[in-house]
Structures are given as structure tokens and as C-alpha cells.
Amino acid sequence: MRPYDAFLLLSFGGPEKSDDVIPFLENVTRGRGIPRERLAEVGEHYFLFDGVSPINQQCRDLVEAVRADFDANGVDLPVYWGNRNWDPYLGDTVAAMARDGVRRVVALATSAYSNYSSHRQYLEDIERARAAVPGAPEIDLIRPYYDHPGFVDSFTGHTLDALARLPAELREDAHLLYSAHSIPEAMARASGDPRRDYGPVGAYEAQLAEVARLVTERVGGGHRYDLVYQSRSGPPTQPWLEPDINDRLAELADEGVRAVVVVPYGFVSDHMEVKYDLDVEALETARKLGVRLERASAPGTHPAFVAMVRDLVTERAEGREPRGLGAIERSCHDAPEDCCRPR
Ligand SMILES: CC1=C(CCC(=O)O)c2cc3nc(cc4[nH]c(cc5[nH]c(cc1n2)c(C)c5CCC(=O)O)c(CCC(=O)O)c4C)C(CCC(=O)O)=C3C
Ligand SMILES: [Fe+2]
């Protein structure tokens, strides 16, 4: 797979026992101005699950699936994994790669969209880790891949599965709620390639709208749908993207909607923000409102998603033009120096 001699999965990281929770939250929020009350509250979400975030095991599963897929398809690259906020830390992984004689790495982040947290911050993580390791390999980060057919098809499949779990009499009129991580409005406006015009909403929201349209079209059946946000943090005075999923659920209940399928299209796996903010909190909201809620799975190790990883690796290795189902102008693949920076 020239010019590369290794593949790296880059992820967020999460705690795996109660004692990890507070140090993990300190890592995530260092210098970010998250109120203490919010931190205590999010800590409780983790303690509810005995301090174990699902995200690390989901990364191990994806690493194994990618290894098997590479083996079966003649992609001869060792697979490494490193995180931003928890063990295995990216810095340790970069040191291990240097020791193993790895010179050039192709990396995929477990974030599909353009914005500071999902794209730029991973580029910064890579540079920081490399700077601390003498003889560190070069690391090329794969572009945002939100409209790759492998990402869209895995959500389509999982949305159809979730619809099938609804009682037959509720299925046809079920409302689709596409849920993504809220971010500060300023971060949303600064997302993407600064030379491009994404309209008033910025690249992140434009990309989300594209994916919701693509998945709804493929699911068929003419379902009505909305874009909603979850997991807001930051001080209440700072505007973040809205509407919150819980507020929108209340409005839909008022409008007479009796069943919703929540599609966590902002995420790559069913990690804590999905397991708590959707499966505990939004489910409870829906139950109180008398709305039936089914949650579709995020891609995880869906075969289309695993095959996507290989396609993105070969795209980068062969220097192929990026392709997607949407309008590629919405991406920031050709502006790796300036995209998704705070302005
Ligand atoms: C866009 C986005 C994604 C989706 C794309 C992607 O996947 O990258 C994402 C994913 C994740 N976010 C996660 C966890 C947290 N995010 C926080 C805080 C924040 N997230 C932000 C954005 C995003 N976050 C932002 C703008 C903040 C404010 C602070 C800052 O500017 O950085 C906090 C602090 C407490 C709080 O305030 O909630 C925690 C604990 C986990 C791990 C879950 C697990 O453990 O399973 C994952 C995958
Ligand atoms: Fe987050």
C-alpha cells in the first residue's frame, strides 16, 4: 500500500473504570471553560455505567474488523490505535510506531465531519504527538468522510432495522430524528474550508443536512425528518447549535407524532454520548411524552463502514479524487492547512 507502511485509528478515548472518570474529564476539558456543574453531571453519566465508556472496546472491535478486512483484501498494513484523551494515548502509539520503524502512516479519525473538535483538533493532536517523539513517522489524516457511501449505507441499514422494531401500526408515520453533537455556534460557523461559502450555517450543519437527506432518501417510505442536536455543554450564555433533541421531541408530541426513530448520524459508534444522552435521557423524555422511540445504531463495525475504511486508505495511497454521495464542495479535503480553525 505504498507510500504507507501503517494504518492508524485515531479516537477520542474514554474511561474504563470508576477511578478513570475524573482524570479523563480533566483531560477532555482542560482549558475549555466547561462549567464545574456540567462536569459533575457528565461524571454521573459515566458512573451510571460503573465508569466504563463503551468507546475503547468499540475501537478494539473496529481495529479487529479492519485488520480482517485488510487481510482478506490484500492490504498489507499493520493497524495501530491511539486516542486524544485516554489510554492508549496517541503519543504512546506514535512512539511505538517509531520503535517499530514505521515511516509513513495513513490515519482515520472516528469523526466524520468538518469542525474543530472532529477535524482540526485531530490534526493538532497528531502534530503535538509527533513533536514529542524523535524519529516520529509522517502521519496523513484521511479527510472528513460524512458522505462516503459506506457511512451513509450503514446508517440507512441501521435506520431500516430500527423502523422494523417499531410496532407495524406506528412504522409508516414514524418521524426520523437525526441527532448530532451540538457545538458552539462560533465553532460551527468556522467549520470547513474558509475559502468556501457554506451559507449561514457553516460546513458542519451543511454536511449534516446532506447526510440526513441522503439517508432519508435511501430509507424510502417518505418519512418526515428533522435535524436535532444533543450533548450540549459550555456556559448557558454561549450559543450552541439547536434545537436540542428533547425540546424537539416535546414539539413533535404536540404535533401528534407517536413514534420516532433517532439516528445518531453525528457519531461513528454507540459510545457514551449515544448510550446516555439518547438511550437514557431522550428515551425518558419520549416515554414521558407518550412517544415511542427506537434508536438506530451508529456504524460501529457495519460491513459497509469497514469497507469504507479500506476505500479511504486506498484513495489516499493512490491519490484518487475524493468522492462522496453529496456535493464535495461541502468538504474541506483540499484545505488541510486552514480548515476548521477557530476564527
Ligand atoms: C463534535 C463532537 C463530537 C462528535 C464527533 C466525534 O466523535 O469526535 C464529540 C464526541 C465525543 N465527545 C465525548 C465526550 C465528551 N465531550 C465533551 C465536550 C465537548 N464535545 C464537543 C464536541 C464533540 N464531541 C465539544 C465542542 C465539547 C466542549 C468542550 C470542547 O470544546 O472540547 C466532554 C466534556 C463534558 C461535557 O461538557 O459534555 C466529554 C466527556 C466522546 C466520548 C464518549 C465516550 O466516552 O464514550 C465522544 C466520542
Ligand atoms: Fe464531545
Give residue 72 CA to ligand 2 midpoint distance, Å: 34
Ligand nearest to the CA of 10: 1
Q: Which residues contact 321 (CB under 8 A, 6 or more apart)?
A: none
Tell me what the mean pLDDT of segment 12-24 comes to.
Answer: 96
Domain closes at, from 252, 269, 295? 295
Query: Do 120 and 35 share a domain, yes or no?
Result: yes
Ligand nearest to the CA of 20: 1
Ligand nearest to the CA of 115: 1
Establish if 265 belongs to a structural domain.
Answer: yes
Cell, residue 211: 447526510
Give residue 274 CA to ligand 2 midpoint distance, Å: 11
- What CATH number is attached to the domain comprising 175? 3.40.50.1400
Tell me the C-alpha distance between 110 and 83, whole Å. 10
Tens-digit pLDDT profile for residues 162-204 = 999 999 999 999 999 999 999 999 999 999 999 998 888 899 9
Domains: count for the chain: 2
Give residue 73 CA to ligand 2 midpoint distance, Å: 34
Residues composing the chain: 343
Give residue 262 CA to ligand 1 midpoint distance, Å: 19
Tell me what the mean pLDDT of segment 107-133 comes to.
Answer: 97
Cell 504507507 -> residue: 4
Cell, residue 56: 475503547
* Least confident interval from 178-187, 316-325, 334-343: 334-343
Protein residues whose CB sits closer than 6 Å to any atom of ligand 1: 12, 14, 25, 28-29, 32, 34, 38, 42, 53-55, 110-111, 115, 117-118, 181, 183, 231, 233-234, 266-267, 271-273
Residue 244 is given by DSSP the state: B
Half-sphere exposure for 31 (CA within 13 Å, toward CB): 0
* 3-state SS assignment for residue 95: helix
Query: Do 283 and 156 share a domain, yes or no?
Result: yes
Which residue positions form the known binding site for Fe-coproporphyrin III? 53, 122
Which residue positions form the known binding site? 53, 122, 181, 273
Report angle CA 54, 151, 295 to the nearest 5 degrees: 50
pLDDT level of residue 51 (50, 70, 90 thresholds): very high
Give the residue whose CA is nearest to atom 17 of ligand 1: 28
* Residue 140 scores a pLDDT above 80: yes
> Do 263 and 176 form a contact (C-beta atoms < 8 A)?
yes
Residue 209 CB neighbours (<10 A): 16
> Do 211 and 155 form a contact (C-beta atoms < 8 A)?
yes
Rounded to the nearest 10 degrees, how much is the dihedral formed by the CA atoms of 80, 83, 84, 88?
A: -110
Query: Do 197 and 109 share a domain, yes or no?
Result: no
Tell me the C-alpha distance between 238 and 293, whole Å. 30
Give the percent of the chain with pLDDT over 70.
99
Determine the pLDDT at residue 120.
97
* Residue 328 scores a pLDDT above 70: no
Domain that holds residue 36: 6-145+302-330
Give the residue whose CA is nearest to atom 37 of ligand 1: 233
Give residue 125 CA to ligand 1 midpoint distance, Å: 15
Cell, residue 180: 448530532
Query: Do 128 and 22 share a domain, yes or no?
Result: yes
Instruction: Round the average pLDDT of the chain to a whole number and report it.
Output: 95
Q: What ipTM was reported for this prediction?
A: 0.94
Give residue 29 CA to ligand 2 midpoint distance, Å: 10
> Do 316 and 148 form a contact (C-beta atoms < 8 A)?
no
Establish if 339 belongs to a structural domain.
Answer: no
Determine the pLDDT at residue 331.
83
Ligand nearest to the CA of 38: 1
The reported pTM is 0.96
